[in-house]
Structure 1
Amino acid sequence: MLTCGELLVELLEGFGVDTVFGIPGVHTVELYRGLPNTRIRHVTPRHEQGAGFMADGYARVSGKPGVCFIITGPGMTNITTAMGQAYADSIPMLVISAVNNTEQLGMGGGRLHELPSQSNLVSGVAAFSHTLMRPDELPEVLTRAFAVFNGARPRPVHIEIPIDVITAPADHVRRKLGALPSRPGPCPDAIQRAAQLLKAAKRPLVLLGGGCADADGEAQRLVEALDAPTAYTINAKGVLPKGHPLALGCNQAWVPVRQMVLESDLILAIGTELGETDYDVVFDGNFRIESKLIRVDIDAEQLNRNYPADVAILSDSCLAMKALLAALDPAPAFSADSVGCQRAAKVRDELEAQWPQTWNGQRKVLDTLQRTLPDLIVAGDSTQPVYSGNHLFEATRTRSWFNSATGYGTLGYGLPAAIGAKLAAPERPVIALIGDGGIQFTLPELASAVEAGAPIIVLLWNNSGYGEIKRYMQNRDIPTIGVDIYTPDFQGLARAFGCNAETATSLEHLEELLKSAAKADRPTLIEVWEHAEFLA
């Protein structure tokens, strides 16, 4: 007899799933019965939050949904933080959980792992949550989930299956999966109206978001056709080649870029929610758009959030950019000494003059990382070199720099996300850039990395506490309570987990350690002290 749980993994493989993150429990073990009959790899984190962050990192690098098997009750409460981070950053994640037997749902009988409603619990961090009441529903519900990932704004989806449904017979279930929708294309009338505005603009500016991550070629051709200086969000790093003369980086919160925004006569925003953690990281409310605004987004509700559009184009970013390029044809030939490039160069010079002196040491580390491992992936946490790197670091391609300092802003993300990233791209060096405070949220995932054969590099920025919050409190005359935390022996802990561990004593030594770590067969923790003399 084929059970619903066995059918589930068969169908997941049919959708191209090759990795599942999860911790087996008594309510989910029947989901595992059919795994040996597939090519799906199972990775065991040490906490369900780690499972969600691994799935997130895997999805950001691969572009495919990260999939989790999660136990009822505490497993679901544990993973909701990771779902919140993925929801905020539009990351595809499929969370499949058990739930109590159908006749026990909502009864409040004090059953093992019982919650009043798991579905209600996660509804705020999921595109949808569905309770599967019969095996017959499974193909349709899975197709619906992958339709969200493939043709809409990608966000987590939760499917919960009662224990008795997981074990129910499923031989009779029709295996045919529904066709997945193509991404929506733009309305021709809206493209023409946008093209007319773009052709008439004298000082255009382009803002690109994470929705453009898979359309870097189209983005480059479009901004060059417009001769428009271009800023992009953290999740869009790499959308323009490093050193491109029109690039402004992720610096929308800095005065020179904000001034350019105000001076521009037309702004084209594509695949970006124009949200606070990319456009107002100083939280002063002074990012303003006062010119005409064209917005392109795959999410209809997002098109007028934060800033109302003059032209709203509901479309996949790549398809919209192709249509705009066709409407602008013939576009003038691009020149690196054009007016737009001169405008961008002036802003870049002003930015360079304004970087804080406190970033100097962090910049040395970031430059060493990229010089030593040019094709690296950086999964960052909320830590000082990540905050500065969001402005200073230029990725060589998309899906190579991401972190939890944007969107939801969770601590502990960097380590498990790097594991997921390494599993998605085993041929590339992957760095978890994390602080001594953040790593203590998910430190046991070092064991998961060893077990999974994921030789990531953990670059640990150590300032013996929550340094960024401490500085924030000091600047506001608030007593620095709770930020000077105990600092354990991270190298001893890393070695106990089966990792290599060293402290960098110079930039040259850091370079040597990085080269060695990139060839290692196990994770390597490299500790960098904030106040080290070589960073002065």
Structure 2
Amino acid sequence: MKFSDTDRLSVVSAQAPQVRSAPAPEMTCGEMLVKLLEGYGVEWIFGIPGAHTIELYRGLADARLRHVTPRHEQGAGFMADGYARVTGKPGVCFIITGPGMTNIATAMAQAYADSIPMLVISSVNARHQLGNGNGHLHELPSQRDTVAGFTAFSHTLMSPDELPDVLARAFAVFESARPRPVHIELPLDVITAPAGHLSLARVPMPAKPKAAANAIEQTAERLAQARRPLLLVGGGALAATDEVRALAARLQAPVALTINAKGVLPPDHPLLLGSTQSTRPTRELVREADVVLAVGTELGETDYDVVFDGGFAIDGTLIRIDIDRAQLTRNFPADIAIHADAQQALHALVAALVRKDVALPAADWGAARVVQTRHAVSQTFDAAALAHQRLIETAAATLPDVIMVGDSTQPVYTGNVVYDAAQPRSWFNASTGYGTLGYGLPAAIGARIGAPQRPVVCLIGDGGLQFTLPELGAAVEAGVPVAVVVWNNRGYAEIKKYMVERDITPVGVDIYTPDFVTIARGFGCEARRINNPAALADALREAMTQRVPTLIEIDESQWFEEVRAC
């Protein structure tokens, strides 16, 4: 029998072993995590890759998520915080086991104090190594317990199957409750475990709490009969801007805003008291109010008593609206306590008031009294405060759509009182709540990433800047053109002042100050020194044309001299 060439090829092919392509590897838990985060709309990850987190990065290069590498985990947390404040979305971090978590702890605590949504995803030692004390790399007795006190919850993922439910819990906190940091840690052997069988479907979120109808009706009745109503509005009402304005207009009620609520009323609003609750004239006004409605505010010290004298008081009926049930009983117990989302409750309250005859305010109340009170407050400003005010007003006038991100420094303390932001999410800083140093620079970087179309100015002191100065490198690498305005008084001047006032010989406050301009240029930034408002305006305009940060250093004593001479 003869075979054709075609037949011979067929026989050879049939006898040869068949080569099969290797099956695609199953998706790991780390890869599934990235896919699920994409499904929740996450766009940015702030993190520093390490030996224990590299498996979280598998597939990240092919994902829609973008990554920023800070120079310290604390910087990652502050960047995530700034991003969250301007967008309202959670800032997400990938953090290494052990030292990475203790490094980011301060940033998480600041976010916890200010109710900022932050998702911190970390590695942790393998499941069979947890808590055994054998000295494994990066081991803590309990990493989860270490951060539990400044998170909404901290969870150890003991199986990939838990991942969808735990992420759903986290985003439920961010979207339906008081937003605060959440920590999820993945043991090393769980990160690499198979997870391709998990569903990518997003879990429906629970609704935000709604105000009880009888509580709204009771509140509407009290407010309708009030002759001297007043509103205290906090950061929990950022999404209720329209409702706050409608309620204030209907009641002709003066409105005081917390620092994180600046912009809920615009600067030229006739009923805006500003954020002056720690000043004597505004405190007197609050005590005269017969009904006070506090919305989304802790009524805490850093907004109502920054002079720490215990002088803020409410003598009238107090009604509180808060998404955090426990907060309704803290600081100032309410006569009427409403557990609800601020926007929903205020919308219902305005509707209830439309159905009622609202009493006319007292003759000396409303807009006329606001003008009088604001004038009285302005008379309390000393020369230093006026010089700080000039700096902030120059920045706002030069960059009308500006976001100003502050550290704990003297111009920021002044700005908390004197400055009224043009819109919400445009003024925030670390002097509220937890009150850390070093926040301003990385938070400003995160803010510009979250709002790339808006100018961002960081206001920071020479002392605070030295906490997180290397983040200039992260900003250059990421191409984030923030303006970093450094108020240089060569030390911790505010603390030195406190020491002198208490007859304590100053120690440890006159610190060495480096050449910031040279250092900034070494990082690849633009940098210059200026000492008067006109030069500041020029420097800020130039900064917004750059693709890298611009450091603008101001010598305190020279600025004071120039402003006095103007």
Q: TM-score, normalised by structure 1?
A: 0.98
Does residue 482 of the first structure (1) align with residue 516 of the second (2)?
A: no
Does residue 112 of the first structure (1) align with residue 137 of the second (2)?
A: yes
TM superposition shift of 1:241? 1.1
Q: Which residue of 2 aligns with 1:142?
A: 167
Does residue 246 of the first structure (1) align with residue 271 of the second (2)?
A: yes
Does residue 520 of the first structure (1) align with residue 561 of the second (2)?
A: no
TM superposition shift of 1:175? 2.7
TM superposition shift of 1:510? 1.1
TM superposition shift of 1:355? 1.4
Q: Which residue of 1 aligns with 2:367?
A: 341
Does residue 276 of the first structure (1) align with residue 304 of the second (2)?
A: no
Q: How does 1:33-432 map to 2 (within 5 A)?
A: 33-330=58-355, 339-432=365-458
SS class of match (2:531): coil
With over 3 angstroms needed to count, the CA separation of the structure-2 counterparts of 1:329 and 1:338, relative to structure 1, is farther
Kept in 2: contact 1:225–1:333 (CA 8 A):
no
List alignment gaps of at least 5 residues for structure 1.
Answer: none
SS class of match (1:313): strand
TM superposition shift of 1:495? 0.2
State the alpha-carbon separation in 2 of the partners of residues 286 and 363 from structure 1: 25
TM superposition shift of 1:174? 2.8
Residues 450-504 of structure 1: CA deviation (Å, up to 9, x unaligned): 0111000000000000011111111111111000000100000000000000011
Q: Which residue of 2 aligns with 1:534?
A: 562
TM superposition shift of 1:54? 0.2
State the alpha-carbon separation in 2 of the partners of residues 227 and 291 from structure 1: 17
**Which amino acid in the other structure matches residue 451 of structure 1?**
E
List alignment gaps of at least 5 residues for structure 2.
Answer: 1-25
With over 3 angstroms needed to count, the CA separation of the structure-2 counterparts of 1:334 and 1:457, relative to structure 1, is farther
TM superposition shift of 1:339? 3.7
State the alpha-carbon separation in 2 of the partners of residues 184 and 381 from structure 1: 34
State the alpha-carbon separation in 1 of the partners of residues 463 and 538 from structure 2: 26
SS class of match (2:239): coil
**Which amino acid in the other structure matches residue 210 of structure 1?**
G
Residues 52-98 of structure 1: CA deviation (Å, up to 9, x unaligned): 00000000000000000000000000001000000000000000000
CA RMSD across the alignment: 1.3
SS class of match (1:95): strand
State the alpha-carbon separation in 2 of the partners of residues 156 and 443 from structure 1: 25
TM superposition shift of 1:332? 6.5
**Which amino acid in the other structure matches residue 508 of structure 1?**
A
SS class of match (1:515): helix
SS class of match (2:85): helix
TM superposition shift of 1:534? 1.0
Kept in 2: contact 1:461–1:529 (CA 8 A):
yes
Kept in 2: contact 1:242–1:395 (CA 8 A):
yes
Kept in 1: contact 2:254–2:370 (CA 8 A):
yes
Q: Which residue of 1 aligns with 2:471?
A: 445
TM superposition shift of 1:185? 1.6
SS class of match (1:36): helix
Does residue 466 of the first structure (1) align with residue 492 of the second (2)?
A: yes
Residues 488-525 of structure 1: CA deviation (Å, up to 9, x unaligned): 00000000000000011321111111110011111000
Identical pairs, percent: 60
Residues 111-165 of structure 1: CA deviation (Å, up to 9, x unaligned): 0000000111001110000000010100000000000000000000000000000
Kept in 2: contact 1:140–1:177 (CA 8 A):
no
Residues 249-297 of structure 1: CA deviation (Å, up to 9, x unaligned): 1110101111111111110000000000000000001111121100000
TM superposition shift of 1:307? 0.5
Residues 337-383 of structure 1: CA deviation (Å, up to 9, x unaligned): 99411121111111011112221211111111011001100110000
How many residue pairs are counted as aligned between the two chains?
535
Residues 392-413 of structure 1: CA deviation (Å, up to 9, x unaligned): 1111000000000000000000
State the alpha-carbon separation in 2 of the partners of residues 408 and 19 from structure 1: 25
**Which amino acid in the other structure matches residue 81 of structure 1?**
T
State the alpha-carbon separation in 2 of the partners of residues 195 and 448 from structure 1: 51
State the alpha-carbon separation in 2 of the partners of residues 396 and 424 from structure 1: 18
Q: Which moved more, 1:526-535 or 1:38-47?
A: 526-535
**Which amino acid in the other structure matches residue 381 of structure 1?**
D
Kept in 1: contact 2:35–2:200 (CA 8 A):
no
Residues 192-222 of structure 1: CA deviation (Å, up to 9, x unaligned): 0101110111111100000111211111111
Kept in 1: contact 2:225–2:358 (CA 8 A):
no
SS class of match (1:207): strand
Kept in 1: contact 2:79–2:445 (CA 8 A):
yes
TM superposition shift of 1:304? 1.3
TM superposition shift of 1:535? 2.8
With over 3 angstroms needed to count, the CA separation of the structure-2 counterparts of 1:101 and 1:452, relative to structure 1, is same
Q: Which residue of 2 aligns with 1:504?
A: 530
Does residue 23 of the first structure (1) align with residue 48 of the second (2)?
A: yes
State the alpha-carbon separation in 1 of the partners of residues 308 and 240 from structure 2: 30
**Which amino acid in the other structure matches residue 452 of structure 2?**
P
TM superposition shift of 1:240? 0.3
State the alpha-carbon separation in 2 of the partners of residues 204 and 478 from structure 1: 44
The structure number with the bigger radius of gyration is 2
SS class of match (1:214): helix
**Which amino acid in the other structure matches residue 388 of structure 2?**
Q
Does residue 493 of the first structure (1) align with residue 519 of the second (2)?
A: yes
